[in-house]
Structure 1
Amino acid sequence: MHKIHVKNTSTKDALFQLQENLGGTLIESWGEYTLTFDNKLGKGVVRGIDFDWGLSLIDFNVNFVEVSKITFENNKRKLVEFIFISEGNLKFKEKEAATFLNFDRYQNIIISNKIPSKKVFVFPEATQVKVNIIQLETEDYQKKKNNNLSYLDKVLRTVFESQNQNVSYHHLGNYNLKIADEIKELDNAHDSGIIRTLSIEGQLNLIMAMQMLEHQNSQKRNTLPDSLSHEHIKKIHELSAYITNNVSEHMSVESLSKIAGLSSKKLQLGFKVLYSKTVNEYIRDLKLEIARDQLKNSDLTISEIVYNIGFKSRSYFSKIFFERYGVLPKNYRNNIKGII
């Protein structure tokens, strides 16, 4: 395991310390620091930028060769951090905690450290991880005119209050692709100078607002139309097992929605979150994987395999098998068995 220790006094300092540990090239442009590395430790980009009133961004788009643990030591700054993972996953804990928390892809995550604190983020090996961390330093943000903190829900408002510096907070909320779309827009800020910095700052505020709204609804045990709760995720997992066990049957989005007890929109959203596929794409790819295994490991005829996975047309099966694997089913079997 590769270990990195960062004293998180500012975003700029954090980037310099990361460069000391990861190597690579660190450049500054319009107040934005970008670290790029490609070496024996892995490959990736880390960037950070500070704004007024305690607002800052640090994001990682990295792929480490081995499991990498980054510890952020914070002795002075009370932070509320809005975390969103677009690719991969992370493990997290505060130094003294007994167990790690799992931070999932597309999950709305809000944490706040106590003072002092050591926060540990564990990045998996050989996995692309894209994580955005928006930080608000509570003392500075409270000085902002019209901060409107009094309008936050009770839990989140308490996190901002200065008398709670010795209390940490972890919110692992619902799953939301709408926030992922806004983060893509953040990454697409290609202008320069004031236009770029204003664009990034505005997008950060929008993303924070969406994450706060998700938190508010989670506290009320509600979910937004474009989000998924843990219960929804559980139902999608259960439905995936049902599909596997009934792969020969005809399954429509409508019929699967009834079985799962979810709307068609929630069902499609769930498969996009969990599998990055639509329902029909998931079913098709599952059928092809089963067919490929049966071509390899059984003596069933191709027609029997087509029937087993619920296709009516052998020609259609051959067409999509070729599109997926670049070889026709008959040739795939012959190649596996060494038949010329």
Structure 2
Amino acid sequence: MREIVITSTKDDVILEQLNVCLEGDLTDNWGERVLTFDNALGKGVVRSISFDWGVSLLDCDVMFNEDVKIVFQTSSVTPIEFVFISKGSFKYNADDTEEIIDLEQYQNIILAPKRYSKKTFMFPPDRQIKVNFIRILRKEYLKKKNNNVTFLNELLLSVFNDENANLPYKHKGSFSLKIADEVKALNAVYDSGIMRTLSLEGRLYLILAMQLMEHHNFENKVTLPESLSKSDIKKIHELSQYIVDNIANPLSVVILAEQSGLSPKKLQLGFRVLYSKSVNEYIRQLKLEISRDYLKNTELSVSEIVYAIGIKSRSYFSKIFSEAYGILPTEYRKHLLKKEL
């Protein structure tokens, strides 16, 4: 495992210390620092930009070729970090004493360790990670006119005020595609100069507001249609196994919603979050994968396979199989038999 130690809370210094190990290229444009690397350790882009009142953005799109541990160990007060992962997942630990926790894709995450504490982020190999850290230095932000932090709930207000009784603080909230869409828009800002800076700052504050609203709703047990809870995610995982076990039976959205106890809208959202597909797209792909396995490992006829995966029309099956794999089912089996000879 490769370990990278960061000893500063300043974004520009963080990139310099990362680059000591990553050995990439550092550039500066319009107040942004961008670190690009592509070598034996991995490849990716890390960028940072700081705004007034102690607010900054650290944006990462990386993939490492081995386990990488990034350790933040500073003599400065650690910032509050609003974390949102658009792709992949990784692990987090504070002070080597807390349990290691999973930080998951599309989940709203807030991290506020104790003063001067050690933070460790553990990145797995061969997995693309896209993550945004909105970092807030509490003392600086509280100097901001009309910061309105008093409107936060009591717990998060105490975190902003750096009250040790409620630190360290971790929030792993709902899964939200609405926030994911805004993060995608943030990463798609291609303007230059002042237009770029203003666009990034505006979108950053919009995402921050949405993350604070998610925290408020989570703590008050308010369920929004565009968010998923941990129990919702568990139900989707269980439903995926139900689909495999009942692949020959009717599997409409209505039937699956009744089976899972989720609304059809929540069901579709869950499949988009977990599998990046609609329910029907997921089922069709699974039917095709199972059919390909049958063609390869059994002597069932194509008609028998069509029946076994719950498709009524052999011609329709041949059509979608060909669209997916570029070959008809019968030709696929012939190709497999030739390879065995």
TM range (shorter): over 0.9
| Residue 166 of structure 1, CA deviation | 8.3
User: In 2, Cα distance between the equivalents of 1:8 and 1:125?
Assistant: 25
User: In 1, Cα distance between the equivalents of 2:45 and 2:283?
Assistant: 35
Q: CA offsets, 1:59-97, max 9 Å, x none?
A: 110010011111112321241110000010010001322
Letter in 1 for 2:29: S
2:49 is the alignment partner of 1:43: no
TM-score, normalised with respect to structure 2: 0.97
Letter in 2 for 1:65: N
Q: CA distance change for structure 1 residues 98 and 170 in 2, over 3 Å: closer, same or farther?
A: closer
User: In 2, Cα distance between the equivalents of 1:175 and 1:141?
Assistant: 27
User: In 2, Cα distance between the equivalents of 1:307 and 1:251?
Assistant: 14
Q: CA distance change for structure 1 residues 33 and 225 in 2, over 3 Å: closer, same or farther?
A: same
CA contact (8 A) 1:114 1:166 kept: no
Q: CA distance change for structure 1 residues 84 and 30 in 2, over 3 Å: closer, same or farther?
A: same
Letter in 2 for 1:107: Q
User: In 1, Cα distance between the equivalents of 2:95 and 2:21?
Assistant: 20
SS in 1 for 2:242: helix
Aligned to 2:4: 4
Q: CA distance change for structure 1 residues 165 and 197 in 2, over 3 Å: closer, same or farther?
A: farther
Aligned to 1:177: 177
Q: CA offsets, 1:219-278, max 9 Å, x none?
A: 112222100001111111111111111000121111211111111110000001111110
Aligned pairs, number: 340
SS in 2 for 1:28: strand
2:199 is the alignment partner of 1:199: yes
CA contact (8 A) 1:214 1:223 kept: no
User: In 1, Cα distance between the equivalents of 2:105 and 2:261?
Assistant: 23
Aligned to 2:284: 284
5+ residue gaps, structure 1, are none
CA contact (8 A) 1:173 1:218 kept: yes
Aligned to 1:304: 304
Aligned to 2:22: 22
Letter in 1 for 2:182: E
| Residue 143 of structure 1, CA deviation | 0.4
CA contact (8 A) 2:271 2:278 kept: yes
Aligned to 1:265: 265
Aligned to 1:335: 335
CA contact (8 A) 2:89 2:105 kept: yes
2:81 is the alignment partner of 1:99: no
Aligned to 1:59: 59
Q: CA offsets, 1:137-161, max 9 Å, x none?
A: 0000000000000000111111111
CA contact (8 A) 2:82 2:109 kept: yes
CA contact (8 A) 1:114 1:165 kept: no
CA contact (8 A) 1:189 1:196 kept: yes
User: In 2, Cα distance between the equivalents of 1:168 and 1:98?
Assistant: 10
User: In 2, Cα distance between the equivalents of 1:256 and 1:210?
Assistant: 30
SS in 2 for 1:205: helix
CA contact (8 A) 2:158 2:166 kept: no
SS in 1 for 2:82: strand
The CA RMSD over aligned residues, in Å, is: 1.3
Greater than 6 Å deviation, 4+ residue runs: none
| Residue 2 of structure 1, CA deviation | 1.2
User: In 2, Cα distance between the equivalents of 1:163 and 1:270?
Assistant: 37
CA contact (8 A) 1:79 1:135 kept: yes
Aligned to 1:253: 253
User: In 2, Cα distance between the equivalents of 1:161 and 1:77?
Assistant: 12
SS in 1 for 2:121: strand
| Residue 98 of structure 1, CA deviation | 4.5
2:216 is the alignment partner of 1:221: no
User: In 1, Cα distance between the equivalents of 2:59 and 2:171?
Assistant: 19
SS in 2 for 1:53: coil
Counterparts of 1:13-162 in structure 2 under 5 Å? 13-162=13-162
User: In 2, Cα distance between the equivalents of 1:46 and 1:129?
Assistant: 11
User: In 2, Cα distance between the equivalents of 1:29 and 1:312?
Assistant: 58
Counterparts of 1:312-323 in structure 2 under 5 Å? 312-323=312-323
User: In 2, Cα distance between the equivalents of 1:109 and 1:98?
Assistant: 16
SS in 2 for 1:146: coil
User: In 1, Cα distance between the equivalents of 2:166 and 2:39?
Assistant: 39
User: In 2, Cα distance between the equivalents of 1:327 and 1:321?
Assistant: 7
User: In 2, Cα distance between the equivalents of 1:152 and 1:163?
Assistant: 14
| Residue 316 of structure 1, CA deviation | 0.9
User: In 2, Cα distance between the equivalents of 1:223 and 1:157?
Assistant: 22
CA contact (8 A) 1:254 1:264 kept: yes
User: In 2, Cα distance between the equivalents of 1:165 and 1:314?
Assistant: 66
Q: CA offsets, 1:304-325, max 9 Å, x none?
A: 0000000111111111111111
User: In 1, Cα distance between the equivalents of 2:9 and 2:244?
Assistant: 50
User: In 2, Cα distance between the equivalents of 1:168 and 1:26?
Assistant: 33
Letter in 1 for 2:36: T
Aligned to 2:324: 324
